[in-house]
C-alpha cells in the first residue's frame, strides 16, 4: 500500500507556506503528521490533564462555536480557564489550516472543539460507536450531503504516551469493497427519519451510503484484521490532520487529545474530484444528493 502518512517538520502553528504536494496528499485521504507541532499548556492548565475534569454524563468536553463549554465539571473560574485553553487550541488549529490550505479560507464552518481526557482502552462501546475499529466518519443524526469533515488533532499526554491509530486503505478501495454490500437507499425511510427527528435534516443517498460503509467496515472482523493498514503511534507533543470522512482510521490507545473539526463545502477543495462524494457518485453512476 502507498504511504498513508506524510510527515511535515514544522513546530509553528502559524508558519504558512503550503507545499502543493501536502495539499494533494491531504485531499487524497492521507494523514498530514507534524511530529514537532505541540500544543503548549501553562503550568496552571496542567491541572486539566485529569479524567475528573469531565462530567461522567458526557463523552467528551467541548467548546461550541459560540464559545460555550460543555461536559466539564469544576467551578466557574476553573471552567473559564478550561474554555480558554480549548479556545486557544481552536485558534491555533484554524491558523494551521489557513496557512496550509489558503483556498479553504472563508469557506470553513467551525464545529465544536473537543478535549478528550479519557483513556481510549477503557471505553466500552457498541460496534457502531467503537472507534477502535477501522472506519470513515459518518454520523447517523447529522446528514452532510457531501460536506467535508476536516480534523486537526493534537496529543497532549503529559506522560509521553502516544495516541495509537491504525490507518487503512484509500477511500476508493474501501468504497469498492463495501458499496456492493450496501443496503439500497430508501427515500421514504429518509423522510420518516427526518419527520421523527432521528436525523437533523433529510438523509441523502450519499449520507446513507457513507453510513453503510462506516457500519460495514466496523462490523466486519475479517476486514478489521486483514485490510491493508499501518499502525501509527502519534507521540505526545505531535499533531496530525486528515479528512476523517475519507481516511480509514481507528484509535487503539492513548489519553488526552484535542480535536478541532472544520467543515468544508466540496466545491472549495483544490480537487473536488478526490472527495468521497465525487468518488461514490462516479462508482454509482448517478447523482447521490
Ligand atoms: C475517531 O475519530 O475515530 C477517534 C479519534 C481519536 O479519538 O483519536
Ligand atoms: Fe472517527
Q: In which band, very low, low, confident or very high, does the pLDDT at 18 lie, cut at 50, 70 and 90?
A: confident
- Residue whose CB lies within 8 A of the most ligand 1 atoms, among 244, 246, 247, 255, for a mutation test: 244
User: What whole-number distance in Å separates Cα of residue 169 and Cα of residue 136?
Assistant: 11
Residue 130 Cβ inside 6 Å of ligand 1? The answer reads: no
DSSP single-letter state for residue 114: E
CB-based contacts of 37, cutoff 8 Å, min separation 6: 10, 11, 12, 13, 96, 154, 238, 239
Q: How high is the pLDDT of residue 146?
A: 97
| Candidate from 1-10, 197-206, 279-288 with smallest mean pLDDT | 1-10
Find the range with the poorest average confidence among 20-34, 122-136, 200-214, 240-254: 122-136
Does residue 253 surpass a pLDDT of 80?
Answer: yes
Q: What mean pLDDT is predicted for residues 27-46? A: 97
Strand bridging mode 163-167 / 31-34? unpaired
**Which is the closest atom of ligand 1 to the Cα of 249?**
3
Write the pLDDT tens digit of every residue in 201-251.
Answer: 999 999 999 999 999 999 999 999 999 999 999 999 999 999 999 999 999
Residue nearest to atom 7 of ligand 1 (CA): 251
* Nearest atom, ligand 1, residue 120 CA: 7
Mean pLDDT of 272-283: 98
Which set of grid coordinates corresponds to residue 121? 482502552
- Ligand nearest the Cα atom of residue 214: 2
- The atom number, within ligand 1, closest to the CA of 244 reads 2
Residue 96, SS3 per DSSP: helix
pTM given for the model: 0.97
Grade residue 15 by pLDDT with cuts at 50, 70 and 90.
confident
Closest ligand relative to 154 C-alpha: 1
Best of 214, 251, 255, 256 for a ligand 1 pocket test (most atoms within 8 Å of beta carbon): 251
How sure is the predictor about 192, in pLDDT bands with cuts at 50, 70 and 90? very high
Closest ligand to C-alpha of residue 151 is 1
Q: Looking at residue 241, what is its pLDDT?
A: 98
Q: Beta strand pairing status for 230-234 and 5-7?
A: unpaired
Helix (H) / strand (E) element for 41: namely none
The 163-167 sheet, strands edge to edge: 230-234, 163-167, 249-253
CA of 191 to the centre of ligand 1 (A): 30
Residue nearest to ligand 1 atom 5, measured at CA = 251
User: How far are the Cα atoms of 177, 215, 284 from residue 206, in angstroms, in the given order?
Assistant: 16, 14, 10
Answer whether 251 contacts ligand 1 (Cβ < 6 A): yes
The arithmetic mean of pLDDT across residues 128-139, rounded, is 96
Does residue 282 register a pLDDT over 90? Answer: yes
Q: Could you tell me the distance, in angstroms and rounded to a whole number, from the CA of residue 209 to the centre of ligand 1?
A: 21
* Residue 2 in this model has a pLDDT that exceeds 80: no
Per-residue pLDDT, 17: 78
State phi, psi for 287 to the nearest 5 degrees.
Answer: -65, 140
For residue 52, the CA-to-ligand 2 centroid distance in Å is 24
The CB-side HSE value for 40 (13 A sphere, CA atoms) comes to: 6
pLDDT tens column, 75-91: 999 999 999 999 999 99
Q: What is the mean pLDDT of the chain?
A: 96
E strand intervals along 49-162: 61-63, 69-70, 109-116, 148-155
Ligand 1 in reach of 131 Cβ (< 6 A)? yes
pLDDT band per the 50, 70, 90 thresholds, residue 1: confident
CA dist., res. 93 & res. 99, Å (int) = 10
Q: How far is the CA of 76 from the centre of ligand 1 (A)?
A: 29
| Residues 108-125: tens digit of each pLDDT | 999 999 999 999 998 788
Q: Is the dihedral of CA 69, 72, 75, 77 positive or negative?
A: negative
Read off the DSSP letter of residue 44: G
pLDDT, position 122: 83
What is the grid cell recorded at 172? 476508493
Amino acid at each position: 500500500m502507498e504511504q498513508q502518512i506524510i510527515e511535515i517538520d514544522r513546530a509553528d502553528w502559524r508558519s504558512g507556506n503550503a507545499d502543493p504536494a501536502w495539499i494533494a496528499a491531504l485531499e487524497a485521504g492521507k494523514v498530514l503528521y507534524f511530529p514537532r507541532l505541540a500544543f503548549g499548556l501553562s503550568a496552571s492548565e496542567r491541572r486539566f490533564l485529569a479524567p475528573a475534569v469531565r462530567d461522567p454524563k458526557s463523552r467528551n468536553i467541548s467548546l461550541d462555536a459560540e464559545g460555550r463549554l460543555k461536559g466539564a465539571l469544576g467551578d466557574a473560574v476553573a471552567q473559564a480557564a478550561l474554555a480558554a485553553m480549548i479556545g486557544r487550541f481552536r485558534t491555533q488549529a484554524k491558523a494551521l489550516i489557513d496557512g496550509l490550505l489558503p483556498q479553504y479560507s472563508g469557506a470553513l464552518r467551525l464545529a465544536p472543539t473537543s478535549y478528550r481526557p479519557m483513556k481510549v482502552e477503557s471505553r466500552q462501546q457498541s460496534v457502531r460507536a467503537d472507534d477502535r475499529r477501522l472506519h470513515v466518519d459518518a454520523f447517523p443524526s447529522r446528514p452532510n450531503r457531501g460536506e467535508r469533515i476536516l480534523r486537526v488533532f493534537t496529543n497532549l499526554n503529559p506522560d509521553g504516551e502516544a495516541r495509537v491509530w491504525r490507518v487503512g486503505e484509500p477511500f476508493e478501495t474501501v468504497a469498492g469493497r463495501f458499496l456492493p454490500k450496501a443496503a439500497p437507499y430508501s427515500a421514504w425511510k429518509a423522510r420518516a427519519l427526518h419527520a421523527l427527528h432521528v436525523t437533523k435534516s433529510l438523509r441523502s443517498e450519499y449520507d446513507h451510503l457513507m453510513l453503510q460503509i462506516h457500519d460495514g467496515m466496523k462490523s466486519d472482523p475479517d476486514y478489521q484484521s486483514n485490510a491493508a493498514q499501518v499502525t501509527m503511534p502519534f507521540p505526545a507533543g505531535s499533531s496530525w490532520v486528515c479528512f476523517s470522512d475519507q481516511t480509514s482510521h481507528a484509535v487503539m490507545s492513548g489519553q488526552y487529545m484535542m480535536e478541532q473539526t472544520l467543515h468544508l463545502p466540496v466545491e472549495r477543495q483544490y480537487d473536488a474530484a478526490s472527495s468521497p462524494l465525487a468518488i461514490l457518485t462516479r462508482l454509482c453512476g448517478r447523482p447521490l444528493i
